[in-house]
C-alpha cells in the first residue's frame, strides 16, 4: 500500500498512538488502513461415500485437485459463500451443509472453512475456474495432486471420521504449502 | 474507497470482466481492490461456573458488557487472536481454549468466533479498552446491558449446554444489533 484510498495522498508505515502494530497511516487525512485476514469458504460434497473434487483451471495450483472453495464476499454468510463457490466451481448444488473444518493459515493471513454436505443430484460440471469435476472413492483420491494442505486435511478427517460416524468440528493451524519431500522425513 | 492505494489515481466502481460483483477498480493501473469480511475473535472465560465480562470503555457500545474479543490481525491464528484480545481487554490468561461459536453477521460483513476457556487465575483487571472486568454467575448476567447479540447468544448457549456437559460448535447467522423493543414482539 502506497497511497491513501480516501484522499489519494501518500501513506507511511508506523505504529499509531495506542496501538502496538505497524499500520499504513495517511499523513494527510490521518486514516489508519487496517489489514486483516481473509476467509476462504468451501464444501466437501459427498455422494454415496464418494467426494467431489475440482481440477483447478487457474493459478495458484492450476491443474491440481481441490474441494470447491473461494474467498468469502462482503454481505454473505460462511455457508452462503461455501454454497456459492460450490455452484460456481462445480456447478453443483448441495444439501444439509454442516460446519466441519476451520484452518488457520497464519503465514498467509487466511482462514479456510469447509462444510460437509450431500450432493443434491449428479448434475455437476466444470465451472469457469475448473478443468474437470469428478467423484472419487477414498481409494481413488489423487493425494499427490491435491492443490492445498487444507483440502488434504479435510479429506483425511472425513475418511477417518466416517468410520465412527462422528464428525467433530476441528480447528487447526496448517502451513500455506506442504513441505517439499515430506515423504522423505 | 476513492483512490487506488497502489498508484494514487481515482478508482471507479464496476464489474470486472469475468466477475459478477461491483468492485473498486483502478482506471490507471487496473488493480482490482477486493473487499472481504473481517473476523472478530474472542473467548468465553470461565471460572467455577462464573463467566468473565468486560464493560466497554470505547465505542461502539461504550458502557455495555462484552466478552473479550476483537479484530483478528494478519499473521495470527483464530486462537491466538482470541487469547491476545483476552489479555488486552481483561488482562486475563486462559487455558484450554476450545472453539465454540461462529456467527455470521452478514449485514456488516463480520464473522465472530468465540472459544470456551478456563481462566488460568484470578489475576484479571480492566485493560485500556475496558472500564471494568467482572465475574458473573448466570443469575447475575446483565442481559439488558450486553454489547452485542453474538455475546448474548454465546452466553445463552453456554448456560444451556452446561446442563448436559456437551458443547457442540455452532454456526449461526445473527443481526448486527438486536431489534428494538424485541421484548414486545
Question: Are A2 and A91 part of one and the same domain?
Answer: no
Rounded CA-CA distance B93/A116 in Å is 34
Question: Are A119 and A48 part of one and the same domain?
Answer: yes
The CATH number of the domain holding residue A112 is 3.90.79.10
pLDDT digits (tens, 9 = 90+) for A105-134: 999 999 999 999 999 999 999 999 999 999
Residue carrying C-alpha cell 482506471: B27
Residue A79 lies in a domain: yes
pLDDT digits (tens, 9 = 90+) for B27-71: 899 999 999 999 999 999 999 999 999 999 999 999 999 999 999
Residue B183 lies in a domain: no
Question: Are B21 and B73 part of one and the same domain?
Answer: no
Rounded CA-CA distance B101/B156 in Å is 11
Rounded CA-CA distance B148/B130 in Å is 15
The CATH number of the domain holding residue A8 is 2.20.70.10
Question: Are A17 and A58 part of one and the same domain?
Answer: no
Of A2, A79, A106, the CB nearest to B6: A2
Question: Are A22 and A48 part of one and the same domain?
Answer: no
Q: Which residues of A fall within a CB distance of 8 Å from B11? A: 5
Question: Are A92 and A14 part of one and the same domain?
Answer: no
Question: Are B73 and B115 part of one and the same domain?
Answer: yes
Q: Which residues of A fall within a CB distance of 8 Å from B33? A: 5
Question: Are A16 and A60 part of one and the same domain?
Answer: no
Which range marks the domain in which residue B10 is found?
1-35
Structural domain count of chain A: 2
Chain A residue with CA closest to B108: the answer is A75
Per-residue cell: B24? 473498486
Rounded CA-CA distance B138/A33 in Å is 39
Beta-carbon separation of B102 and A99 below 8 A: yes
Q: Is the minimum CB–CB distance between A161 and chain B shorter than 8 Å?
A: no
CB B25 within 8 A of CB B112: no
Cβ contacts of residue A140 below 8 Å, gap of 6+? none
Band (pLDDT 50/70/90 cuts) for residue B177 is confident
B 79-108 residues inside an 8 A Cβ radius of A:
79-80, 99, 102, 104, 106-107
Beta-carbon separation of A106 and B75 below 8 A: yes
Reply yes or no: is the peptide bond before residue B53 cis, omega within 30 of 0: no
Amino acid at each position: 500500500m502506497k497511497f491513501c484510498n480516501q484522499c489519494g495522498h501518500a501513506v507511511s508505515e508506523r505504529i499509531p498512538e495506542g496501538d502496538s502494530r505497524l499500520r499504513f497511516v495517511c499523513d494527510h487525512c490521518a486514516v489508519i488502513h487496517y489489514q486483516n485476514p481473509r476467509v476462504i469458504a468451501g464444501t466437501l460434497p459427498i455422494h454415496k461415500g464418494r467426494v467431489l473434487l475440482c481440477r483447478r483451471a487457474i493459478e495458484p495450483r492450476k491443474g491440481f485437485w481441490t474441494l470447491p472453495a473461494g474467498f468469502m464476499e462482503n454481505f454473505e454468510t460462511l455457508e452462503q459463500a461455501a454454497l456459492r463457490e460450490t455452484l460456481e466451481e462445480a456447478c453443483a448444488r448441495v444439501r444439509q451443509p454442516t460446519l466441519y473444518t476451520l484452518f488457520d493459515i497464519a503465514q498467509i493471513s487466511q482462514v479456510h472453512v469447509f462444510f460437509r454436505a450431500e450432493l443434491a443430484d449428479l448434475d455437476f460440471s466444470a465451472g469457469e475456474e475448473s478443468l474437470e469435476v469428478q467423484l472419487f472413492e477414498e481409494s481413488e483420491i489423487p493425494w499427490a495432486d491435491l492443490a492445498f494442505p487444507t483440502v488434504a486435511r479435510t479429506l483425511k478427517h472425513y475418511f477417518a471420521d466416517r468410520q465412527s460416524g462422528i464428525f467433530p468440528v476441528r480447528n487447526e493451524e496448517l502451513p500455506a504449502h506442504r513441505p517439499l519431500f515430506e515423504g522423505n522425513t
